[in-house]
A and B are shown apart, each in its own frame.
Chain A
Amino acid sequence: MRRMRVAAAMSVAALALAGCGSSTESTPGAGGASSSAKALKIGMAYDVGGRGDQSFNDAAAAGLDKAKKDLGVETKEATAVNGEPESAREERLQQLIDAGYKDVVAVGFAYAPSVKKVAAANPDAKISLIDSTDATGPNIVNLTFAEQQGSFLVGAAAALKSKTANIGFIGGVNTDLIKKFEAGYTAGAKAVKPAIKIQVKYLTQPPDFSGFGDPAKGKTAAEGMYQQGADVIYAAAGGSGGGLFTAATAAKKMAIGVDSDQALTAPPAARPYVITSMLKKVDVATFDFIKSLTEGKFVAGTKIYDLKANGVGYSTTGGQMDDIKAKLDAYKQQIIDGKIVVPAKP
Chain B
Amino acid sequence: MSTAGLKAGAQVITGVVRRPRLSPAQIAIMVFFAVLIIAVLRVVTGAKDLASSGALAAAIGLAVPIGLAGLGGLWSERAGVVNIGLEGMMILGTWGAGFFGFHYGPWAGLLGAMFCGMIGGAIHAVATVVFGVDHIVSGVAINIIGLGAAKYLAARTFTGTPGGGPTQSPPLGELPTISIPGISPGLATLEKKQIFFVSDLASILGAFVTNLSILTLIALALVFMTWWVLWRTTFGLRLRSCGESPVAAETLGVNVYRYKFIAVLVSGAMAGLGGGYLALVAANIYRDGQTGGRGFIGLAAMIFGNWRPGGLVGGAALFGYTDAVQLRGGGSTVHALLLLLAVLVVAIGLWQILRRQRLIQGAVAIAAGAIVAGWFFVSETVSDEFTGMTPYVATLLVLALSSQRLRMPAADGQPYRKGEAG
Contact = CB atoms under 8 A, between A and B. Distances in A.
Interface stretch (B9-17, B218-226, B277-285): B277-285
Nearest to B65: A216
B143 A217 contact: no
A216 B278 contact: yes
Q: For this complex, into which size category does the number of interface residues on chain B fall?
A: 35 or more
Interface string A76-110: 00000110000000000000000000000000000
Interface stretch (A34-42, A203-211, A311-319): A203-211
8 contacts: A6-B300, A13-B144, A17-B144, A50-B166, A52-B155, A174-B384, A215-B282, A224-B329
Contacts of B158: 52
Given A9-B136, A202-B384, A239-B288, 14 more contacts: A13-B144, A17-B143, A20-B147, A50-B167, A54-B165, A199-B330, A208-B388, A213-B289, A216-B61, A216-B62, A224-B55, A224-B328, A239-B167, A265-B163
Interface in A214-243: 214-217, 219-221, 223-225, 227-228, 239, 242-243
A214 B290 contact: yes
Contacts of A174: 384-385
B87 interface: yes
A51 interface: yes
Interface in A5-30: 5-6, 9-10, 12-13, 16-17, 19-20, 22
B324 interface: yes
Contacts of A239: 167-168, 287-290
B168 A53 contact: yes
A200 interface: yes
Given A6-B299, A267-B284, A20 B151 contact: yes
A168 to B, nearest CB: 11
A247 to B, nearest CB: 10
A203 B288 contact: no
Contact of A13 (B87, B148, B152, B290): B87
Pick the 3 closest A-B CB pairs, nearest first.
Answer: A52-B165, A224-B328, A215-B283
A259 interface: no
Nearest to B165: A52
A339 interface: no
A49 B166 CA distance: 9
A221 B165 contact: no
Given A6-B299, A204-B388, A221-B327, A242 B287 contact: yes
A13 B303 contact: no
B414 interface: no
Given A6-B303, A210-B292, A267 B140 contact: no
B54 interface: yes
A3 interface: yes
B342 interface: no
Contacts of B167: 49-53, 239
A82 B65 CA distance: 20
B241 interface: no
Q: Which of A5, A54, A215, A224 has the most CB of B within 10 A?
A: A224
Given A16-B144, A223-B58, A10 B287 contact: no
Interface in A321-338: none
A242 B159 contact: no
A42 B327 CA distance: 41
Nearest to B53: A227
Nearest to B292: A210
A250 to B, nearest CB: 9
Interface of A: 2-3, 5-6, 9-10, 12-13, 16-17, 19-20, 22, 48-54, 58, 81-82, 174, 199-205, 208, 210, 213-217, 219-221, 223-225, 227-228, 239, 242-243, 246, 265-269
Interface string B26-54: 00000000000000000000000100101
A267 B102 CA distance: 13
Nearest to B82: A5
A202 B151 CA distance: 26
Contacts, number: 156
Q: Which of A48, A201, A208 has the most CB of B within 10 A?
A: A201
B171 interface: yes
Contacts of B109: none
B335 to A, nearest CB: 14
Contact of A12 (B140, B166, B283): B140
Contacts of A54: 165, 168
B61 A20 contact: no
A84 B16 CA distance: 43
A48 B285 CA distance: 17
Contacts of A16: 140, 143-144
Nearest to A58: B165
Contacts of A221: 327-328
Nearest to B145: A20
Contact of B330 (A17, A201, A266): A201
Contacts of B408: 2
Nearest to A214: B292
Contacts of A6: 84, 296, 299-300, 303
B388 A205 contact: yes
B185 interface: no
B139 A9 contact: yes
Nearest to A21: B151
A88 to B, nearest CB: 14
Given A17-B144, A208-B388, A227-B54, A215 B287 contact: yes
Given A10-B296, A16-B144, A265-B163, A216 B385 contact: no
Contacts of B87: 13
Interface in B127-178: 136, 139-140, 143-144, 147-148, 151-152, 155, 158-159, 163-168, 170-171
B388 A213 contact: no
B283 A220 contact: no
B293 interface: yes
